[in-house]
Amino acid sequence: MNNRRADVRGHAEGDERFAAVDTHIRKTRHSQDQLIQTLHVAQDIFGHLSHDLMAHVATELRLPPSTVYSVATFYHLFRLDPPGEHQCTVCTGTACFVKGSESIVGKLSAEYGLAPGQTTDDGRLTLRTARCLGSCGLAPVTVLDGRIQAHQTPEGTLEQVGRMLDPHALLPEPADEIAPDDGRRAV
């Protein structure tokens, strides 16, 4: 049966990205216990899991679409909506909470009119919160487009997000990510 599927079929509409998803599915022999791993691959390629994409995965793994949907919605990391152009994630783990991450989220939410998980109407910024990035020694921590930023303040993060969205804007020079005094205080 697998032989018939050996050709790269992709998607009826000719979107080649589906072929990349199919390659993973074939490599893992259409095995249903690979659903989560397959959805990871699909999301990496497409940026989010559209209904069309989930239906495609369901067909290929011979699972009911409801199963795929239920798994995709169970886990926090799967996104059903396309993410914004830029990402700002604020860690709300315990160490960051103790060091005031709530006020960072509050400041960003107010400035951009976003609740965590939402994207601005122009699709430029997605605000997220994360449950501990495991960099507790650097709390509070944010991640801007994949780069971890240590020892954040509400104002500092706001400024950095502004610069991320508009790198050419005339903004004051960035302060050091970690103020030397802070890093070198006595043990």
Partner 1 sequence: MAGPIDLNEAAERELQARSSRSCRIKVCCSTACLSAGSGATRKAVEDALRARGRDRDCTVVPTGCMGPCSLGPLVRVEPREGPSELYRSVGEADAERIVAAHLDDGPAAGDLALDERLPFFTSQRRVVLANAGRIDPDRIEDYIAEGGYRALEHVLHRMSPSEVIDVVKASGLRGRGGAGFPTGSKWALLAAADSPQKFVIANGDEGDPGAYMDRTVMEDDPHRVLEGLAIAAYATGARQGYIYVRAEYPRAVERLERAIRAARRYRLLGRGILGADFTFPVEIRIGAGAFVCGEETALIASVEGRRGNPSLRPPYPTERGLFGQPSMINNVETLANLPTVILEGPESFRSVGTQTSPGTKVFALAGDLRTTGLIEVPMGITLRRIVEEIGGGVPEGRSFKAAQTGGPSGGCIPARHLDTPVDYESLRSLGSIMGSGGLIVMDDTARMPQVARFFMEFCREESCGKCVPCRVGTVQLYGLLDRICQGRGRPEDLELLSELCTVVRDTSLCGLGQSSPNPVTSTLRYFPQEYLDLVRTREVDRA
| Of 100, 52, 1, nearest in space to 21 by CA | 52
Strands lying side by side in the sheet with 86-91 = 125-130, 86-91, 142-144, 147-149
**Cα distances (angstroms) measured from residue 77 to each of 95, 149, 176:** 21, 21, 31
In angstroms, what is the minimal distance from the CB of 63 to partner 1?
Answer: 9
Contact region with partner 1 (CB under 8 A), list: 105-113, 152-160, 167-175, 179-187? 179-187
The one among 9, 94, 123, 145 contacting partner 1 by CB under 8 A = 94
DSSP codes of every residue in 132-148: --S-GGG-S-EEETTEE
The one among 14, 64, 137, 172 contacting partner 1 by CB under 8 A = 137
CA angle 54, 90, 73 (to 5 degrees): 20
The answer to whether 132 contacts partner 1 (rule: CB under 8 A) is: yes
In angstroms, what is the minimal distance from the CB of 74 to partner 1?
Answer: 4
Q: Which is nearer to partner 1, 31 or 166 (CB)?
A: 31
Tell which phi-psi region holds residue 30, choosing left (phi > 0), alpha (psi between -120 and 50) or beta.
left
Contact between residue 134 and residue 149 where contact means Cβ atoms under 8 Å apart: no
The answer to whether 97 contacts partner 1 (rule: CB under 8 A) is: yes
Interacting positions 37-56 with partner 1 (CB under 8 A): 37, 39-40
Q: Which is nearer to partner 1, 146 or 167 (CB)?
A: 146
The one among 20, 136, 164, 165 contacting partner 1 by CB under 8 A = 136
The answer to whether 20 contacts partner 1 (rule: CB under 8 A) is: no
In angstroms, what is the minimal distance from the CB of 44 to partner 1?
Answer: 11
CA 23, 28, 32, 38 dihedral sign is: negative
Q: Which is nearer to partner 1, 47 or 123 (CB)?
A: 47
Q: Which residues bind partner 1 (CB under 8 A)?
A: 32-37, 39-40, 67, 70-71, 74-78, 92-95, 97-99, 130-139, 141, 147-150, 177-178, 180, 183-187
